[in-house]
Amino acid sequence: MKAFAVIGFSKSGKTALIEHIVKELKSRSYSVATIKHVHGKKRIDLADKDTWRHVKAGSDLTIAISDSETLEVKPVKTELWKALWKLSKFDFVVLEGFKTEFYGVKIAVVRDLEEANDLLDPLVIAFTGKLAEEVKEINGIPVVRNIEAIIDLVEKKAFAPPAGLNCGRCKYGNCTELAIAILRGQAGVKDCLYITPEVKLIVNGSEVKLNSFTSSIFRNVIFGLISSLKGIDTPYEIKVEIKL
């Protein structure tokens, strides 16, 4: 999975750009998922308002099904890294917003130089928007008008981002520095110790060696079970003991 965010200020054209991005990625035969940041505590807009009556009544999970689509609604906030982890099977995940919460490459939609300078970030790989009519680059970062050129860039530069927990366990010290190193080709997502943890299986006091595939199965199954439980902080170490 590769992920990238489209960032910008309100009414800058982020959603319209993402519509074109998704269409272009699909035309190149990629599977695509999207995540949108809804600011504040306002309700996510739904065409079927009766669905919200279920949620407001106290349902822990509401599933709306029509002839053409299915929508799941949970009355809880999901951390971004958990949402990305659930979408790891997709070729690309496109995020709208998450200027500070996302540790991957970003496309900034801007209307003028002031907005561009406000959004300047080591992980911004391109600017686009109204400003593209006036300049071709800002601080060495290209200003792109053509949607095909934007997709060419993300094909080359997007990557699976680190978890974004800033746990300080990797040699880079924080997720921003690790993401910058990945973008420069000096590191990989495997350097995120939270995403690629050590898995040990001990049976009757003896360690059983696991290959990377088996290790990832243990990790994903156990992590998936634990992340669905309520009242548990972000886990850094998990120990499971089974006595038969």
Please list the residues that pair with 82 across neighbouring strands: none
Regarding whether 18 and 136 lie in a shared domain, the answer is yes
Residue 20 in this model has a pLDDT that exceeds 60: yes
pLDDT of residue 133: 85
Regarding whether 45 and 23 lie in a shared domain, the answer is yes
Average pLDDT value over all residues in the chain: 86
The whole-model pTM stands at 0.76
pLDDT of residue 244: 79
Q: What is the mean pLDDT of residues 188-202?
A: 79
Regarding whether 179 and 209 lie in a shared domain, the answer is no
Domain total in the chain: 3
Structural domain including 240 reads 197-244
Q: What is the mean pLDDT of residues 32-47?
A: 72
Residue 239 in this model has a pLDDT that exceeds 90: no
Question: Residues with Cβ < 8 Å from 211, sequence gap 6 or more?
Answer: none
Portion of the chain with pLDDT greater than 90, in percent: 45
Burial of 8 by CB count in 10 Å (0-12 exposed, 13-18 middle, 19+ buried)? Answer: buried
Residue 66 in this model has a pLDDT that exceeds 60: yes
